[in-house]
Structure 1
């Protein structure tokens, strides 16, 4: 069990390659009874899928899923009173910067969790869940993740984040709320 100390209104981002196991880890997340809101784009995808014809390929509404997911993150960061845990690959520096900006503007302590997985493990995870990221997109995630992995091994914390924790696919996470 990996204990991660968080403040009551923290913005915790669980990042990693698509297919790394972020949703699985979030399903096992422990908070010691503290209220936690978990935002995963799969929640949006499931809701939207129910609104569209069953045979509509995901690629046609993927941009809408990502837009709605990001709007939910923003709105709940503004209006929420407790812990906010966001599932987001965050391999792009612009995505990390956007999340930092949300944390700063909403007065949230920012913690970055990186779920480390090899490209092969992540691809196997995608196959297992039955949803593959397009080849070029996955290759870009893999390149950026390799750069991040090297920096994390050196103890680097991405700019704007208060802390950074590297996790493995076998880890379980317990968020321990500490006073502000």
Structure 2
């Protein structure tokens, strides 16, 4: 079991410091402690022998991102027992209500509005939340990072590293895909994000990031929040 709050050293008792001079105390009050560096955990290449659970603090926010067809929704449905917001669920609800012959492109803006409205309602609850992110809408991550700061919590990133061929196969398996143009945008955005995270530079506002390949994602059984 993997607890993200355990990546950093646990706080301990330090020797009592000697009283500081008045000028030193004044400078200490003005000084702002540096923010801790984001923590990156790479679980790829372990043949599924990685952790079976990722645990986060009770008010944290978790973003699951990667290529369309890469298994984000499958992972969330299997591993998230609590609150989650998945744009795929929103699309499925709208498709059940719409005529079969009506192209998705015609009501896609309504699906997106409905998804973001649902995300806003879920955030208002103040509890831990797992959110599906398509990867191209970077403003969503900025929104979530602001919300995490507002509630005194942290934003975490779970990135699925799945190749383009595997992702396209996943789209075919579910009988639904995205256009070549949209997939190219997703692929470019995901590649940039993957390179940055692998180099230890998660997006601004992220307190930690976890990299998963297919095997690690299949082995993961739980993404939850500590009460």
TM-score by length of 2: 0.70
Question: Deviations along 1:43-80, whole A, 9 cap, x unmatched?
Answer: 212222232222211111112111111111111101x2
Equivalence map 1:124-135=2 (5 Å): 124-135=169-180
**Higher RCO (CA < 8 A, seq sep 6+):** 1
Q: Hey, what's the Cα distance between the residues in 2 that align with 1:38 and 1:49?
A: 20
Q: For residue 54 of structure 1, give the secondary structure of its aligned residue in structure 2.
A: coil
1:65 aligns with 2:111: yes
Structure 1 match to 2:141: 96
1:54 aligns with 2:100: yes
Structure 2 match to 1:175: 223
> Which 5+ residue runs of structure 2 have no aligned equivalent?
1-50
1:19 counterpart (47, 69, 83): 69
User: Which aligned runs of 4 or more in structure 1 are off by greater than 4 angstroms?
Assistant: none
Q: For residue 144 of structure 2, give the secondary structure of its aligned residue in structure 1.
A: helix
Q: Hey, what's the Cα distance between the residues in 2 that align with 1:69 and 1:97?
A: 17
1:150 aligns with 2:195: yes
Shift, 1:131, TM fit: 1.0
Shift, 1:130, TM fit: 1.0
Shift, 1:169, TM fit: 1.9
Shift, 1:108, TM fit: 4.1
TM-score by length of 1: 0.86
1:9 counterpart (32, 38, 59): 59
Q: For residue 182 of structure 2, give the secondary structure of its aligned residue in structure 1.
A: helix
Contact persistence 1:74–1:102 (CA under 8 A)? no
Q: For residue 76 of structure 1, give the secondary structure of its aligned residue in structure 2.
A: helix
Contact persistence 1:48–1:65 (CA under 8 A)? yes
Shift, 1:3, TM fit: 3.2
1:38 counterpart (84, 89, 94): 84
Tell me the number of residue pairs that the alignment of Structure 1 and Structure 2 aligns: 174
- The structure with the largest alpha-carbon Rg is 2
